Structure 1
Amino acid sequence: MAEAPLILWFRRDLRLTDNQMLAAAASTGRPLVPVFILDPETEALGAAPKWRLGLGIEAFARTLERHGSRLILRRGPALQVLEALVAETGAAAVHWSRLCERSWRARDAAVKAGLKGRGTEAVSHPGHTLHEPWEIATGQGAFYKVYTPFWKAVKAREGVAPLPAPARLAAPAAWPASDRLDDWRLGAAMNRGAAVVARHVRVGEAAAAERLAEFIGNRIDRYAACRDQPAVPVTSGLSENLTYGEISARTVWHAGLRALDEGRLGAEKFLQELVWREFAWHLLYHTPEIASRNWRPDWDAFPWRKDNPDAERWRRGMTGEPFVDASMREMFVTGTMHNRARLIAGSYLTKHLMTDWRVGQAWFEDCLIDWDPASNALGWQWVAGSGPDAAPYFRIFNPATQAEKFDAGGAYREGFVAELARRPGARALSFFEAVPRRWGLAPDQCYPDAVIPLAEGRERALAAYGQRSR
């Protein structure tokens, strides 16, 4: 049993550096059998995140091979697959990194119970977030419902330095059989959009580390002042890599802390944004209903519309509101969307178009390569007004005034909406390469009239809010 291998079940931790599960297993000196399982929970991912996950798996497999190891691919229910691998390899234990989304937690609990019931050790480790969601608590032992005190609590904690990559990954005497990644067809639902979005991704652990170094070295000083201007390249772009664990939140946090100690201007604001991701997972763990129901029950009376033709124009980036349409087209072209743009697009859908936030949430879940169940849920509920930490008033972003403030020269709008530019650039034109052909969109079409005048949409939303309050 001293030489019995350990099975390492990778999920959202596709890295060697600061991987607490991997470090613990490697320290035993035992042979390691890394595995990725395409289980029903993973099969349920939307088109863009599933495609991007496939790229991450491919890159991580190459990384393991360079270190004398392999990534075994298997398809099926997780417990069934792991039991089979234990039988094939004689493994003494299965290790994995914890995930806190409700369906993933239920799966992991069933796996742990099933393995232990058959005499196999099952060990879960932290690592997907900076701190485990239950570790940050108020003075009364409750969870935080407001971001600012949560941020202060996280900032006050003494952090642990990131772990180095293991020096050695011991291989088993014989490798179990593996599926072929191509046979999984993880990018099938992306259709022709995959070729467009592929121009903008930065995949894998090495790319994530380069991204962080580039941000700290060249961008962080302008981050606080310019982060809300979508045409100005000052953000880190690390949400894509954090989503798949190609870099750890702890690694990013400590890089930000070093920048803060050096007096870099945007460092604290950057750390605050990282902790907003942490806050989202904190809330999803303690109130899992945030992903599917109004976090504030009194919002159940708000007369949001279900899916509708106006929402379809929103999805297609054809609302006639340039800032909104640029935001939606950016997502189709790059697989991501600038944070300010997400606020504008989300507010327009839920307020001006009076459409249920869950309609937008589902679209983002299908289209974002950096889709994160916690951040997506919190973001949509925050902008809709139904979630935690929302403004004490009914916030309605005006796309036109937001454009004047954050895209004064029109570079972002013209950069993604070809109909607005005298000479459309490659990104604007590639939108028409990426969208489904059945939409019938072309760059020489006339730009549409607005779905609804902004003032009229605002008044309609305010009237509905007032009626709900009564």
Structure 2
Amino acid sequence: MDDTKPIILWFRRDLRLSDHAALTAACETGRPVIPVFIYDGLVETLEAAPKWRLGLGLQALSKTLADKGSRLILRREGRALKALRALVAQTGATSIYWSRLYDPEAVARDTSIKEAFKAEGVEARSFGGHLMFEPWTVETKTGGFYRVYTPFWNAVKNVGVDTPRPTPRDIRPPQDWPESDTLDDWQMGAAMNRGAEVVRPFALVGEQSAQGRLGHFIADVVDGYGDNRDIPGVDGTSALSENLSLGEISPHQCWHAGHRAMQEGKRGAEKYLKELVWREFAYHLMHHTPRMLDGNWREEWDAFPWKTDADSAHVVAWKQGRTGIRFVDAAMRELYVTGRMHNRARMIVASYLTKHLMTHWKVGQHWFEQCLIDWDPASNAMGWQWVAGSGPDASPYFRVFNPDTQLDKFDKHRDYVSRWIAEGRADPHKDALAFFDAIPRSWNLSPDDPYPDPIMTLDAGRKRALAAYEDRGF
């Protein structure tokens, strides 16, 4: 291979320079490397919060590359193949490297691109990095895929995870850089409207911030992780889902940090490793059963009488954090102010929507897809179906979380509720007030409004859900 011919390094959800297999391989050739991001049809279809957060990540990556004497080339084109072909023609590149993605649309796109460039004599290589274990490499003893988490964990927990790669010392630039779009012209945050200004202080953007977040977690939080991870009013989790979703940090880096903490005797470290593997399990299932993204994983649930009206009065109240159920409402308000939601709270709001309100999990899945800055296709679908009862390794389908008893257990002193609900309080928390700055003006809500009565009593909702399960023979 001519060592003067550039390699196009196609960034997607791998916005980092350390532990980046494709970047390392490209730099090791000694050839010029042209980092590229393409705003294609799959980026276009991202919802408001994920697209905005991606824009912030690209801004940070561009600066990191510039600090290394490189740059990020931006191209907007409906079809990534067309954009890549143009770059090959303009730069004389003979190779294209990228990190794998695993959702069906990305797989179909990448497969067709590989086939097209193979026919044209251009090297197209994909690398791992978004996951610790490629989904097709973990098999049961009979050769199938895992459908239950615990056996999956047992199968991988002692498998060696690749040691994270260091950041390449040098990224050789090309003799001439191709033209690039301007990130501001893409207006990736347009759909966030005024919410962007509210959420921005809560987003920790870029590789350096992600590493700092991991360092804080391992040093100060992981020891108590097993006890505190379910308490939404304390700093008890890693909060790295935001960075993992865009590849600003790798799961390998998180695993090895957690494993070292476990060897040092930090009590919550193994539980943290299990949560990293839960993410892997979601991708394992998405790879083998991609229907989980848009349909019931357990097909017998197709006949379940869920409501599907995303604009019904009950669903609108749920979206607005005005159900009259404090744990649910606090969680939804956290979502609008921070772009994230505590994991225990996610279970509560999902259970309330799918069980007390008998609304299809896809309604909630789509709303989260619009609002989460840590949106991840596999984890979002897996989480909603797990709670709803229609998914793999699901919580017992008949379990209906009681938000009030959950609040007594996990928010005894009401720290969480007090932080996020303003109505009825003489001196509301600033974050509770920020909710009213983040939401659409068309909702016409005010902190001076009275707090609502429950739209559905917990006992009545639970009885209705259990009756529906029994009626359908579950």
Same fold (TM over 0.5): yes
Give the secondary structure class of the aligned counterpart of 2:347. Answer: helix
Q: Distance in 2 between matches of 1:166 and 1:305?
A: 52
Q: Deviations over 1:151-202 (max 9, x none)?
A: 1111020222100010110000000000000000000000000000001000
Aligned to 1:10: 11
Q: TM-score scaled to structure 1, two decimals?
A: 0.99
Aligned to 2:297: 295
The one-letter code matched in structure 2 to 1:31 is: P
Give the secondary structure class of the aligned counterpart of 1:299. Answer: helix
Does 2:263 align with 1:272? no
Aligned to 1:249: 251
Q: Distance in 1 between matches of 2:64 and 2:395?
A: 45
Within a 5 Å distance, the mapping from 1:88-103 to structure 2 comes to: 88-103=90-105
Give the secondary structure class of the aligned counterpart of 1:256. Answer: helix
Q: Does the CA-based 8 Å contact 1:290-1:377 persist in structure 2?
A: yes
Does 2:432 align with 1:432? no
Q: Distance in 2 between matches of 1:241 and 1:72?
A: 22
Q: Distance in 1 between matches of 2:405 and 2:468?
A: 22
Which of residues 463, 466, 474 in structure 2 aligns to 1:462?
466
Give the secondary structure class of the aligned counterpart of 2:472. Answer: helix
Identity of aligned residues (%): 58
Q: Deviations over 1:21-60 (max 9, x none)?
A: 1011110010000000000001100100000000000000
Q: Distance in 2 between matches of 1:447 and 1:57?
A: 40
Q: Does the CA-based 8 Å contact 1:413-1:420 persist in structure 2?
A: no
Aligned to 1:334: 338
Q: Deviations over 1:123-172 (max 9, x none)?
A: 00001111111111111111100000111111020222100010110000
Aligned to 1:24: 25
Give the secondary structure class of the aligned counterpart of 1:105. Answer: helix
Q: Distance in 1 between matches of 2:184 and 2:117?
A: 29
Which of residues 226, 232, 235 in structure 1 aligns to 2:228?
226
Aligned to 2:136: 134
Shift in Å at residue 393 of structure 1? 4.8
Cα pair distance change 1:406/1:420, threshold 3 Å: farther
Which of residues 389, 392, 399 in structure 1 aligns to 2:393?
389
Give the secondary structure class of the aligned counterpart of 1:139. Answer: coil
Does 2:272 align with 1:283? no
Q: Does the CA-based 8 Å contact 2:102-2:287 persist in structure 1?
A: yes
Aligned to 1:64: 65
Within a 5 Å distance, the mapping from 1:341-352 to structure 2 comes to: 341-352=345-356
Shift in Å at residue 203 of structure 1? 0.2
Does 2:420 align with 1:419? no
Q: TM-score scaled to structure 2, two decimals?
A: 0.98
Cα pair distance change 1:325/1:192, threshold 3 Å: same
Aligned to 1:160: 162
When the two chains are superposed, the root-mean-square deviation of aligned CA atoms in Å is 0.8
Shift in Å at residue 118 of structure 1? 1.5
Shift in Å at residue 431 of structure 1? 0.2
Shift in Å at residue 226 of structure 1? 1.0
Q: Does the CA-based 8 Å contact 1:317-1:324 persist in structure 2?
A: yes
Cα pair distance change 1:12/1:329, threshold 3 Å: same
Within a 5 Å distance, the mapping from 1:185-200 to structure 2 comes to: 185-200=187-202
Shift in Å at residue 391 of structure 1? 3.4
Which of residues 399, 402, 406 in structure 2 aligns to 1:398?
402
Cα pair distance change 1:422/1:262, threshold 3 Å: same
Q: Does the CA-based 8 Å contact 2:388-2:397 persist in structure 1?
A: no
- Which structure 2 residue ranges, 5 or more long, are not aligned? none
Shift in Å at residue 392 of structure 1? 4.1
Q: Distance in 2 between matches of 1:408 and 1:139?
A: 45
